[in-house]
Amino acid sequence: MTDQTNHDVLLEMKDVKKHFPVKQSVFERVAGESQKAVRAVDGVSFHINRGEVLGLAGESGSGKTTIGRLALRLLDATDGQVILDGVVLNDLSAEELRRTRKRMQVIFQDPMASLNPRMTIGEGVGHGYKIHLNSDPAAVRRAVLEIMEKVGLTPADVLYDKYPHQLSGGQRQRAVIARALITRPDLIVADEPIAMADVSVRVLLLDLMKQLKEEFNLTYLFITHDLATAKYICDRIGVMYLGKLVEIGDLRDIYGNPRHPYTQALLAAVPVPDPTLRTDDPPIRGEIPNAINPPSGCRFHTRCPIAADICSQEEPVLREVDGEPGHFAACHLRTGDYKHLDPENQDATEAPPQ
């Protein structure tokens, strides 16, 4: 699906897994039970082209935030490779990783938690610049004031000496964006970057991120639970469910022709400003299952409205949707060998798969 030698590819994840071991009880150890693990990410592959915005969407517990941390090597993968601009991050020493860090930055959801309350805004924004680029105090101050102006944190010379609690929520998120940009990164992982902002400033922040992307030639991995937000900023969207990537494609294909029933359910959950279109039926039933013991076969089969017997027996793989290059979905009934069982596909002949 991806090509490491393609120079347009900035980030590539190759069959990446992250399993968190679960502490065993004394009883389980005595009984000789095998070590259990939360399979937060379980064999995910995708790439992001330079200058692109790839959205990762899914419910809590789908593994999207873990993917973001793996992409930055804030977490080490259990298996698979994370490749930034041709460099396999898994193989880097601590010193090599430190040098690479300036090329990839993160914007977390909660600016209050990600800014050091004991540092002024100027100190916090300039910290990465001081470590990675230039420790001269005058140079740091110049760079900080310049980036604060760029992100609309003005008057910069006044806000420079303020502490995070003295700023509004929107200003704090701008400070986090400034801190991420000051090292002139190539890749930004934005993890629910507007989820904690007031509704009134969300669009302003998204517009700012779009504008900065053009100005600084950035590439974003944009993590969100909200497909409406993803639509505003993303070029492509990947949909995660219980540690698996179940669908990925261009924005137009994902919104215009979603093939995976989970993607369809997420899109049906997006609110529409028309009371006549409201329905009391939940688009998806039940809770996301436990990632320690995920369902067999297709992990979505316990909640899927069109599941067939095969779904609990065999795991579907990502396959390209007919006539839509770059659009992949992992569903036996939509892209696999069992299309004749799809209730949407009444014309299909009942040919059992080979």
List of residues 6+ apart from 159 with CB closer than 8 A: 121, 148, 153, 167, 171
Which residue from 279, 244, 235 is spatially nearest to 263, judged by alpha carbons?
Answer: 244
Residues 1, 329: Cα–Cα separation, whole Å: 12
Q: Single out the residue of 242, 311, 318, 321 in contact with ligand SF4 (rule: CB under 6 A).
A: 311
Angle between helices 121-132 and 169-181 (to 10 degrees): 10
Contact 328, 335 (CB under 8 A): yes
Q: Is 242 in the site for ligand SF4 (CB under 6 A)?
A: no
228 vs 317, which CB is nearer to ligand SF4?
A: 317
Q: Is 284 in the site for ligand SF4 (CB under 6 A)?
A: no
Residues 348, 39: Cα–Cα separation, whole Å: 36
Least distance in angstroms from the C-beta of 186 to ligand SF4 = 35
Q: Is 304 in the site for ligand SF4 (CB under 6 A)?
A: yes
53 vs 291, which CB is nearer to ligand SF4?
A: 291
Residues 11, 267: Cα–Cα separation, whole Å: 27
Contact 173, 194 (CB under 8 A): yes
Peptide bond into 155 cis (omega under 30): yes
11 vs 266, which CB is nearer to ligand SF4?
A: 266
Least distance in angstroms from the C-beta of 111 to ligand SF4 = 37
218 vs 310, which CB is nearer to ligand SF4?
A: 310
206 vs 331, which CB is nearer to ligand SF4?
A: 331
Q: Is 261 in the site for ligand SF4 (CB under 6 A)?
A: yes
Q: Is 258 in the site for ligand SF4 (CB under 6 A)?
A: no
Strands 244-250 and 328-329, bridge-based pairing = antiparallel
The count of residues interacting with ligand SF4 (CB under 6 A) is 13
Q: Is 41 in the site for ligand SF4 (CB under 6 A)?
A: no
Q: Is 300 in the site for ligand SF4 (CB under 6 A)?
A: yes
Q: Is 288 in the site for ligand SF4 (CB under 6 A)?
A: no
197 vs 265, which CB is nearer to ligand SF4?
A: 265
Q: Is 189 in the site for ligand SF4 (CB under 6 A)?
A: no
Q: Is 333 in the site for ligand SF4 (CB under 6 A)?
A: yes
H or E element in which residue 157 lies: helix 156-159
Strands 236-241 and 244-250, bridge-based pairing = antiparallel
For the chain, the distance separating the N- and C-terminal CA atoms, rounded to the nearest angstrom, is 24
Q: Single out the residue of 181, 298, 318, 321 in contact with ligand SF4 (rule: CB under 6 A).
A: 298
Contact 219, 187 (CB under 8 A): yes
Q: Single out the residue of 14, 174, 202, 301 in contact with ligand SF4 (rule: CB under 6 A).
A: 301
Least distance in angstroms from the C-beta of 72 to ligand SF4 = 30
Q: Is 332 in the site for ligand SF4 (CB under 6 A)?
A: yes
Residues of this chain that bind ligand SF4 (CB under 6 A): 260-261, 298, 300-301, 304, 306-307, 311, 316, 331-333
